[in-house]
Amino acid sequence: MTIASSVKQCLANMKGIEAQLSSLYLNSLDPEAKGLFHESMLTISSVKKDLQNRVLELERHEPQYKS
Amino acid sequence: MPDWIDTVIRSFIFLAALFFMTKILGKKQISELSFFEYISGITIGSIAGEAITGLENSIIQGLLSIAIFILITLLVDYLALKSKTVRNLVDGRGTVLIKDGKVLEENLKKEKYTIDELSALLRQKDIYRVADVEFAVLEPRGTLSALLKKEHRPITPKDLQLKVPNEKEPQTIIMDGQVVDEALRSAGKSRGWLHTELAKLDLTLDNVFIGQVDSYGELSVDIYDDKMQVPSPAQRPLLLATLKKTQADLEIFSLETQDEVSKAMYKKNAKLMQETIDKLTPYLTS
């Protein structure tokens, strides 16, 4: 597996985590838990953005792995 | 009119009267916390019994005396709410039997309790050593409340300095295959949501005996067919596992890459992820 594809896989996992956190945020009743889920979701989405940029860079460097 | 018909009629009348009058007095009467309630409880019962079987007494007299007892109890309850003096007089105060780990013999004598009776009361609370008790009070009702010394108390998350999430009470939203709309509303869910969740579990509403939703909005069900296996909610533990996996991935990327800028980026994000995991763990494990 190339680096580009493993980073992409990690990015996909990130997206999944973000979606699950947002569903937990919507479904939880306890305000404290709600706040924490929301905060974590924002952190994850910033990490996700960084990864996305990295994927674009990798694709520029190694066009042969572009999918 | 034969006597037995009279008894039947009286029984019904007094049963109804007792039911409604105790309803008026409320839960306090049932718990018999003070001896005033204890006395009135016994007396009202015996008046009713006497009036039902003693056919020579008039029904009106029986009802009247019950009503008087109820009224006085209500009045005393009301006065006790207003004044501490009345409360002390009527409800009585607890007697401290053990203080600072020492038995107060004087108080024990005043309440006419022997050492055997005190240790019997302690044993009912699963306490076998008087030395383990920091403080014990004999309540007006005759029960003993005991506070153990700190080192003998059960351990709590606070003692271990663990952070535990606050949990709301679970709502029972399905009973006997019927949706309980009120509970559904307090859980903040709709019938549509419930049907989606049931469809996820491959169930229909009439298969479900009990369905409860917890404070994370997860539905757990008990179904009529006990041979069938229903998956228990595993969304949160799975999420934690995925979080850990991505964190590890980021660490690996930071080690593998040659590019200094991305190395720093991976490192920073791996740290962020670790912090998030640490914060979320109590909420995702329980």
* Residue in chain B lying closest to A48 (CA): B269
Residue B227, pLDDT score:
85
- At B172, the pLDDT band (50, 70, 90 cuts) reads very high
Q: Interface of chain A against chain B, CB under 8 Å?
A: 3, 6-7, 9-10, 13-14, 16-17, 20-21, 24, 26-30, 32-33, 36-37, 39-40, 43-44, 46-47, 50-51, 54, 57
User: Taking a contact as any Cβ pair under 8 Å apart, which residues of chain B between 149 and 188 contact chain A?
Assistant: 165-168, 187-188
pLDDT for residue B195 is more than 80: yes
Share of chain A above pLDDT 70, in %: 94
State the distance between the two ends of chain B, measured CA to CA, in whole angstroms: 69
Residue B178 belongs to what H/E stretch?
strand B178-179
Among A7, A26, A36, beta carbon nearest to B280: A36
CA distance B45 to B34: 17
Among B167, B235, B279, beta carbon nearest to A20: B235
- At B226, the pLDDT band (50, 70, 90 cuts) reads confident
User: What radius of gyration, in Å, describes the C-alpha atoms of chain B?
Assistant: 31
Residue B247, pLDDT score:
93
- Do A12 and B244 meet the contact criterion of CB atoms below 8 Å apart? no
Phi, psi dihedrals of residue B66, rounded to the nearest 5°: -65, -45
A43: Cα within 13 Å, side-chain hemisphere:
21
Share the mean pLDDT of chain B. Answer: 87
Render pLDDT for B69-90 as a digit per residue (tens, 0 to 9).
Answer: 888 888 888 888 898 888 888 7
Q: Is the dihedral of CA B24, B28, B65, B6 positive or negative?
A: positive
pLDDT for residue A63 is more than 80: no
Share the mean pLDDT of chain A. Answer: 87
Render pLDDT for B113-158 as a digit per residue (tens, 0 to 9).
Answer: 999 999 999 999 999 988 899 999 998 878 899 999 988 999 998 9
Q: Which of A51, A37, A16, A41 is nearest to B238 (CA)?
A: A16
Taking contacts as CB-CB distances below 8 angstroms, the residues of chain B near A44 are: 273, 276
Residue B277, pLDDT score:
92
Q: How far is CA B5 from the centre of its chain?
A: 45
Which residues, 6 or more positions from B71, have their beta carbon under 8 angstroms from its beta carbon? none
- At A1, the pLDDT band (50, 70, 90 cuts) reads low
Sequence-separated contacts (24+) of B132-139 with Cβ below 8 Å? B133/B98, B133/B101, B134/B98, B134/B100, B134/B101, B135/B96, B135/B98, B135/B99, B135/B100, B136/B96, B136/B97, B136/B98, B137/B94, B137/B95, B137/B96, B137/B97, B138/B94, B138/B95, B138/B96, B138/B97, B138/B107, B138/B111, B138/B113, B139/B94
Asked if the Cβ–Cβ distance from B265 to A24 is below 8 Å, we say no
- At B284, the pLDDT band (50, 70, 90 cuts) reads confident
- At A38, the pLDDT band (50, 70, 90 cuts) reads very high
- Do B237 and B285 meet the contact criterion of CB atoms below 8 Å apart? yes
- At B96, the pLDDT band (50, 70, 90 cuts) reads very high
What does chain A come to in residues?
67
- Do B185 and B168 meet the contact criterion of CB atoms below 8 Å apart? no
Render pLDDT for B15-73 as a digit per residue (tens, 0 to 9).
Answer: 998 888 888 888 877 777 677 788 888 888 888 888 888 877 788 888 888 889 888 88
> Helices in B157-259 by DSSP H: which ranges?
181-186, 191-200, 235-256
Share of chain B above pLDDT 70, in %: 99
Task: Could you list the beta-strand ranges (E) of B10-143.
Answer: 95-99, 102-103, 133-138
